[in-house]
Structure 1
Amino acid sequence: MSALPVILLMWGVTYPVRLLGLSLGRLQLPPFWLAFLRFVPVSVFAALIVPDVLGSPEWPRRLVGCAVGMGLMWRSRNLALGIMGGLAAYWVARLAGL
């Protein structure tokens, strides 16, 4: 199969989806939907993180790192500090044999 039909097919699928997203940007949503959509990023983040943390054989270490990282981000509102603190807590727990 030639590359050109594959590229055109990918364009034909991707372009309308992105165009729809851009055209809906001007849409005025009711307050209910605005309140509902406020929690979508948190839900997606939890759906990505929770299975990885709790579904691993080393879940106690990962749970410690997550708890420390979440606590630091919650208190400081600093993403970099939360990530570095969570990683440091994970490695301390790993070196401690947890």
Structure 2
Amino acid sequence: MNVLLTMLGMWAVTFASRYLGLSLGGVRLPPFWLAFLRFVPVSVFAALVVPDVANAADAPRRAVAALVAGLLMWRSRQLALGILGGFGTYWLLRWLGLG
């Protein structure tokens, strides 16, 4: 029962925050907040990827693949190309037995 109550509470908080954000659609944010929010996806992505790269047994191989992915995304501004390039680099290094 405790798990069910926790899940319902998490759902309620998530639903309320998203509903509030969507219902404020007519509100214009100041330029500072718009500039600040541009960096949220990059920050979340880094927070998810960096610990996995740094704490893995094959960390050097993953670090090279992450660097290639980052460079591809930076130069092309295309997330899909960066992801495919990073995965391709990782599997190529693994196949060659490097890293």
- Structure 1 window deviating more from structure 2 (41-50 vs 17-26): it is 17-26
Residues of 1 paired with 2:11 and 2:87: CA distance? 42
Report what 2:48 is aligned to.
48
Please give the root-mean-square deviation of Cα atoms over the aligned residues, in Å.
Answer: 2.4
The runs of 5 or more residues in structure 2 that have no matched partner are none
Residues 1:12 and 1:35: Cα distance change in structure 2 (over 3 Å): closer
- Could you tell me the percent identity over the aligned residues? 60
The runs of at least 4 aligned residues of structure 1 exceeding 6 Å deviation read: none
Map residues 1-98 of structure 1 onto 2, 5 A cutoff: 9=8, 13=12, 14-97=14-97, 98=99
Give the TM-score of the pair, scaled to structure 2.
Answer: 0.74
> How far does residue 18 in structure 1 lie from its aligned partner after superposition?
2.5
Give the TM-score of the pair, scaled to structure 1.
Answer: 0.75
Residues 1:11 and 1:41: Cα distance change in structure 2 (over 3 Å): closer
> How far does residue 94 in structure 1 lie from its aligned partner after superposition?
1.4
> How far does residue 43 in structure 1 lie from its aligned partner after superposition?
0.9
> How far does residue 66 in structure 1 lie from its aligned partner after superposition?
0.9
The runs of 5 or more residues in structure 1 that have no matched partner are none
Residues of 2 paired with 1:12 and 1:90: CA distance? 37
**AA aligned opposite 1:73:** M
- Structure 1 window deviating more from structure 2 (74-83 vs 87-96): it is 74-83
